Amino acid sequence: MKQTLFLVVCIFFTGLSIAAQTEIQIKKTMSMKIPGMPAMPAGMANPLQNRISKEYIKGSRIRTDSTFDMQTKTGLKKVTHTTIQQCDKQRRINFNTKNKKYFVEPMSGQAQRSSSGAAASGGSKGNKDGGVVTIVGTVTDTGERAKLFGYNAKHLKQTITMTPSKDACQKQAMKIDIDGWYIDLPEFSCPVRRKPTEFQMSGTKCYDQVDFQMRGEILGVPVKEIQTLTTDGMTVNIEEEALEITKTPLSDALFEPPADYVAANTMQEVDNEDDSRNITAEERAIPEPTTTTTTTTLDLPRGGVEKAAITGKKPGMIRIGIAKPVVQLGDKDSQELAGEFGEAVAGLFIETIKAQNIEAVILNGDAEADAKNLECDYIVYSNFSRKKGGGGLFGKIISANVAAMTGNVPKPDTNPTEATVAMMRMMQTLTKARDEYSFDYRFTKADKTTVSSGKEKAKANFDTEDVLTAKIKTASKAILTNVKP
């Protein structure tokens, strides 16, 4: 099923690129949920949750890097999977850092056969003709509009169905529902000729004809998408959301496979899958859902909503400025997330340092100068650092079991706020078993006279454990007790 999902998704989601020389980087988070899937053992990170990806757009090309943890014989290893869409050449390139191989395929999703009758994607003699797979896509414009990341955005929905005939090589029917927000870029255009007439069933030499019917089209860059895929009695939910969009110079080499990578004959070689698999499951229809959870309005991506300008301080109000936290995460890869970590911490301070006549605001750049301009009465300075534990897989499992036996597992927040969720996501992304976090804060008057201070340490018992959020909230309460009218 994996290769079938990959093929169908690629056929429909390759119409995105930029014609002019606009160079853009987009940072996203992605999570996948499979209802009914058993929970991960205590202490083991869920590789399907909170994946961070980056998209790079230049000219008529777009590159997507997705990094995740892969289990190997020596423990967890970070692997980056890359997809490059070269709209100018109407082709897609896939590779990852594990096998250092890349595979080139047409963006249309069309299977290629050589003149000898063999599949160009690595097949040989003995090809088999299957049946017909009917693919129908329908796009609906909800009419909702918003301003996201400084761009005009529209809310669109799309439904895709894939129905195989009884004699088709592809046996599973499939339905994909997409609900998303898409930003408009004036230069954005990639005329992909997405009308495949044939594709090859994964791991076989069997080819189906394709009846491709598309009604409407999604144009624009997705900044939030929720995809629900239903096939073979199983449902998969994929949620992707943009965190930030920046304009930055990009090298042309970024949109080509690395020079030391080797061309592969199949996508399975890139993913190191077993090419001998042969799907023989009986044809199954898509089950009708018994309930529906869809809503008419999809929430906006949090990172793209423009924040209201800070206005003058109201009479009687005490204003506390939150200086940009200083963050050290202990290694080069993690340090790339230091800015986002600091924003999550500052957001949590803003949310928790407040009362009827007390408000908190973010200070940018020169904290003292900004505090003066914003009429702040107090300032909060903070420093955060992480010391990596370096524990192996067995250490993570043992420490997790110890945590479970001693009850040292925090209860989940049943109604988390936006700032709490942002902080929890950062901790899930960064934390490994035995990592030790330290933070200190200093609460001062506007003239820098210290009012109070505090210092905390916390060690994670298992991967993804959030050991900071509660302590930051405790520090906020202590700060509030020291506020004087």
**Structure letter (DSSP) for residue 46:** -
The pLDDT value recorded for residue 107 is 77
With respect to residue 115, please indicate whether it lies within any of the assigned structural domains: no
CA distances (Å), origin 250, targets 16, 255, 325: 18, 9, 29
Distance of alpha carbon 343 from alpha carbon 416, whole angstroms: 17
For residue 363, give its domain range. 313-481
With respect to residue 281, please indicate whether it lies within any of the assigned structural domains: no
The pLDDT value recorded for residue 24 is 87
Phi/psi for 438 (5° steps) reads -130, 140
Across the range 268-282, mean pLDDT stands at: 51
Cβ atoms of residues 244 and 27 within 8 Å: yes
The pLDDT value recorded for residue 193 is 53
Distance of alpha carbon 111 from alpha carbon 413, whole angstroms: 49
pTM, whole model, 2 decimals? 0.60
The pLDDT value recorded for residue 377 is 95
Determine what percent of the chain is predicted with pLDDT higher than 90.
27
Judged against a pLDDT cut of 90, whether residue 483 lies above it is answered with yes
Helix (H), strand (E) at residue 334: helix 332-335
What angle do the packed helices 418-430 and 338-352 form, to 10 degrees? 150
The segment with the largest mean pLDDT, out of 84-88, 175-179, 386-390, is 175-179
With respect to residue 102, please indicate whether it lies within any of the assigned structural domains: yes
Phi/psi for 240 (5° steps) reads -130, 135
The CATH code of the domain that includes 470 is 3.40.50
Pick from 295-309, 310-324, 349-363, 438-452: least confident:
295-309
Last residue of a domain, one of 276, 297, 321: 276
* Residue type at position 129: D
The pLDDT value recorded for residue 438 is 94
| Same structural domain, 95 and 207 | yes
The pLDDT value recorded for residue 294 is 38
Assign 208 to helix, strand or coil. strand
Strand stretches in 165-316, DSSP E: 174-183, 198-200, 206-215, 221-231, 234-247, 262-263
Q: For residues 232 and 296, which has the higher predicted lDDT (pLDDT)?
A: 232
Across the range 280-295, mean pLDDT stands at: 36
CA distances (Å), origin 413, targets 4, 160, 418, 428, 469: 38, 36, 12, 14, 11
Please report which confidence band the pLDDT of residue 215 belongs to, taking 50, 70 and 90 as the band edges: confident
Distance of alpha carbon 384 from alpha carbon 325, whole angstroms: 7
With respect to residue 284, please indicate whether it lies within any of the assigned structural domains: no
Please report which confidence band the pLDDT of residue 88 belongs to, taking 50, 70 and 90 as the band edges: confident
CA distances (Å), origin 333, targets 67, 338, 429: 11, 10, 12
The pLDDT value recorded for residue 383 is 96
**Structure letter (DSSP) for residue 311:** -
Distance of alpha carbon 131 from alpha carbon 123, whole angstroms: 19
The pLDDT value recorded for residue 22 is 61
With respect to residue 296, please indicate whether it lies within any of the assigned structural domains: no
Assign 173 to helix, strand or coil. coil
Count other C-beta atoms under 10 Å from residue 485's C-beta.
Answer: 7
Q: For residues 84 and 127, which has the higher predicted lDDT (pLDDT)?
A: 84
Judged against a pLDDT cut of 80, whether residue 208 lies above it is answered with yes
Last residue of a domain, one of 224, 251, 276: 276
Please report which confidence band the pLDDT of residue 300 belongs to, taking 50, 70 and 90 as the band edges: confident
| Same structural domain, 264 and 397 | no
Distance of alpha carbon 95 from alpha carbon 87, whole angstroms: 17
| Same structural domain, 69 and 151 | yes
DSSP 120-143: TTT--S--EEEEEEEEEEEEEEEE
Question: Is the Cα torsion angle 262, 10, 163, 31 positive or negative in sign?
Answer: positive
| Same structural domain, 209 and 323 | no
Distance of alpha carbon 415 from alpha carbon 268, whole angstroms: 42
The tens digit of pLDDT for each residue in 383-419 reads: 999 998 764 444 444 444 444 444 444 445 555 677 8
CA distances (Å), origin 213, targets 161, 162, 175, 192: 10, 10, 14, 15
With respect to residue 66, please indicate whether it lies within any of the assigned structural domains: yes
Pick from 280, 255, 475: nearest CA to 380? 475
CA distances (Å), origin 349, targets 120, 307, 322, 328, 432: 57, 16, 7, 18, 24
Judged against a pLDDT cut of 70, whether residue 475 lies above it is answered with yes
Please report which confidence band the pLDDT of residue 125 belongs to, taking 50, 70 and 90 as the band edges: low
Across the range 184-196, mean pLDDT stands at: 61
Helix (H), strand (E) at residue 145: strand 128-148
Pick from 98-107, 116-125, 363-372, 419-428: least confident:
116-125
| Same structural domain, 347 and 264 | no
The pLDDT value recorded for residue 249 is 86
| Same structural domain, 224 and 344 | no
DSSP 365-399: SSHHHHHHHTT-SEEEEEEEEEE-----HHHHHHH
Q: How many domains does the chain have?
A: 2
| Same structural domain, 231 and 330 | no
Q: What is the Cα Rg of the chain in Å?
A: 26
| Same structural domain, 256 and 363 | no
Pick from 9-23, 142-156, 171-185, 260-274: least confident:
9-23
CA angle 135, 138, 139 (to 5 degrees): 140
With respect to residue 458, please indicate whether it lies within any of the assigned structural domains: yes
Cβ atoms of residues 320 and 244 within 8 Å: no
Cβ atoms of residues 236 and 229 within 8 Å: yes
What are the residues whose beta carbons fall under 8 Å from the beta carbon of 209, sequence distance 6 or more? Answer: 129, 130, 131, 132, 133, 197, 198
Please report which confidence band the pLDDT of residue 169 belongs to, taking 50, 70 and 90 as the band edges: confident
| Same structural domain, 386 and 323 | yes
Pick from 46-60, 116-130, 375-389, 455-469: least confident:
116-130
Pick from 39-43, 316-320, 401-405, 460-464: least confident:
401-405
| Same structural domain, 469 and 374 | yes
Average pLDDT, the chain: 76
Q: For residues 380 and 170, which has the higher predicted lDDT (pLDDT)?
A: 380
Judged against a pLDDT cut of 90, whether residue 439 lies above it is answered with yes
Helix (H), strand (E) at residue 321: strand 318-322
Judged against a pLDDT cut of 70, whether residue 275 lies above it is answered with no
The pLDDT value recorded for residue 330 is 82
| Same structural domain, 257 and 359 | no
| Same structural domain, 256 and 319 | no
Please report which confidence band the pLDDT of residue 194 belongs to, taking 50, 70 and 90 as the band edges: low
The pLDDT value recorded for residue 47 is 53
Distance of alpha carbon 162 from alpha carbon 164, whole angstroms: 7
The CATH code of the domain that includes 227 is 2.50.20.10
With respect to residue 118, please indicate whether it lies within any of the assigned structural domains: no
**Structure letter (DSSP) for residue 355:** B
The tens digit of pLDDT for each residue in 222-272 reads: 899 999 999 888 888 888 888 888 888 888 899 999 999 999 888 778 876
Q: For residues 364 and 412, which has the higher predicted lDDT (pLDDT)?
A: 364
Pick from 110, 206, 216: nearest CA to 160? 216
The pLDDT value recorded for residue 479 is 95
